[in-house]
Amino acid sequence: MTAIFNVTYETVYRVVYTDVKGRFVQIDYNGRDELLAAQRGAGRDHVSPRTREELQGQPELIDFLGPMWGGIVDAKGGYVFEEPRPPGTFVCIRYEGKEAYRRLSE
């Protein structure tokens, strides 16, 4: 899936899960408010000294693993590997359903 992001957002939230037929589904949200409005609920905000700075304070979603580091993405959703981060790119915070996580980790 290719998503077009609104350039006013610095963080993109990517949710990956499997549907009832076992197919991967990926949905991208432009910002925290859009993510929380679309999800049925969130737990507490993530705080851990063992995870990246970008993950601190991100919401923990009910029924999903994460937040996880999803890399840097461009306005079309493609990954960017340049450092330092070029202008017009976004931090991607990723969440995975348990089955998607299991299959992607194999």
Does residue 66 contact residue 91 with C-beta atoms inside 8 Å?
Answer: no
Note the pLDDT of residue 1: 28
Give the tens place of pLDDT for each residue, 42-91.
778 888 889 888 888 899 998 899 999 998 888 888 888 877 778 888 88
What is d(CA 45, CA 54) in angstroms, rounded to the nearest whole number?
Answer: 12
Note the pLDDT of residue 104: 93
Give the tens place of pLDDT for each residue, 5-44.
443 347 889 999 999 999 999 999 988 888 988 887 677 8
| Domain assignments of the chain as residue spans, ordered by start | 11-104
